[in-house]
Amino acid sequence: MKIKNIKNLFSPMVKNDIRENADEKQVDLEKESGVDNNKKILPKEEASRMPPPAEKTTEAAKTGVRSIFTNIIQPDERNLKNYLDINFWVGKRQQYVAMREKERQDLNVYEVLSQGAYPSIEYYILTILSCIIATTGLLQGSTATIIGAMIVAPLMTPILAFSLGIIWGDAFLIKTSLKSLIKGTFIAIIISAVIAFAIPTADYSSEILSRTQPSIFDIIVALVSGIVGAYGYSNKNISATLVGIAIAVALMPPLCTVGIGIGTLNPGIAGGAAVLFVINLVSISLSGAVVFWLMKIHPRKTEESQVRKRALYQIVISIIILTCIAVPVGYFMREGFLMNKTKKAASELILKELPGARIIQIQHTGTGDSSSIDVILSVTDLPSQEMIDEIKNVITSRNAKLKNIDIRLLHVSKPRVLSEMDQK
Does the pLDDT at position 260 exceed 90? yes
CA–CA distance, 133 with 270 (Å, rounded to integer): 19
**Largest alpha-carbon pair distance within the chain?**
123
User: Which residues, 6 or more positions from 218, have their beta carbon under 8 angstroms from its beta carbon?
Assistant: 250, 276, 279, 280
> Where do the structural domains in the chain lie, given as residue ranges?
2-71, 105-298, 339-411
pLDDT for the residue 128? 92
> Poorest-confidence range of 64-78, 220-234, 251-265?
64-78
Per-state percent for the chain, helix, strand, coil, to nearest 5: 75, 5, 20
In terms of Cβ atoms closer than 10 Å to its own Cβ (0-12, 13-18, 19+), residue 161 is buried
pLDDT in tens, 1-60: 444 444 444 444 434 443 444 344 344 434 433 434 444 444 444 444 445 555 545 555
- Contact (CB, 8 A) for 10 and 67: no
CA–CA distance, 393 with 389 (Å, rounded to integer): 6
Choice between 286 and 311, residue whose per-residue pLDDT is larger: 286
0.75 exceeded by pTM: no
CA–CA distance, 337 with 321 (Å, rounded to integer): 24
pLDDT for the residue 8? 45
The counts of H helices and E strands in the chain are 17, 3
β-strands 371-379, 402-411 pairing: parallel
For the 105-298 domain, the top CATH level (class) is: mainly alpha
pLDDT in tens, 130-166: 999 999 999 988 888 887 777 777 888 888 888 888 8
Question: Could you tell me if residue 229 is left (phi over 0), alpha (psi between -120 and 50 degrees) or otherwise beta?
Answer: alpha
- Contact (CB, 8 A) for 330 and 217: no
pLDDT in tens, 192-204: 999 999 987 778 8
pLDDT for the residue 20? 45
User: Which residues, 6 or more positions from 405, have their beta carbon under 8 angstroms from its beta carbon?
Assistant: 346, 372, 373, 374, 375, 392, 395, 396
* 371 Cα distance to chain centroid: 36
Domain 339-411, CATH = 3.30.70.1350
What's the Cα-to-Cα distance from 184 to each of 1, 105, 156, 159, 179, rounded to whole Å? 64, 28, 11, 11, 9
